[in-house]
Amino acid sequence: MELNPLEQALHTARALVMADLAAGGVAEADIVSLVEDAVTHRRWWVEQWPEGAEFVAGLVAQDVQDALLERYGRWPLCPACSAAEEPHALDVEPELGPDPHWVCTKAAVAVAPVGALGEVLRR
């Protein structure tokens, strides 16, 4: 059974964000619940605006990042800047667009696509 495109976009968004959380070692049960809450919220959003399905991964990443900031602190921390600098979180860009990336706004560099932080963190 094939998923409809909106559900596929939501499942993909969940998988990408979970991959980044796992790469950072923070994919614990209570944090996974934050991902599920974000996906549920974005399901309604994408049902109202189906043309926005390609934007869902970046929006879910931002939603989870915001929820983590409120409860636990900054995530994901920037691996591009030196350890001597003040730790800071990466941002998702574009804020509303396809092909979202984690970027360091201090260094003005794209660090990794959403879902691929593990590749950067293993280096």
Tens-digit pLDDT profile for residues 22-40 = 998 888 999 999 999 999 9
pTM across the whole model = 0.92
pLDDT at 123: 66
| pLDDT tens-digit readout, 77-101 | 999 887 777 889 999 999 899 999 9
- How big, in percent rounded to 5, are the helix, strand and coil portions of the chain? 55, 10, 35
Q: How confident is the model at residue 70 (pLDDT cuts 50, 70, 90)?
A: confident
HSE at residue 70, side-chain half, CA atoms within 13 A, is 8
Name the DSSP letter for residue 71: H
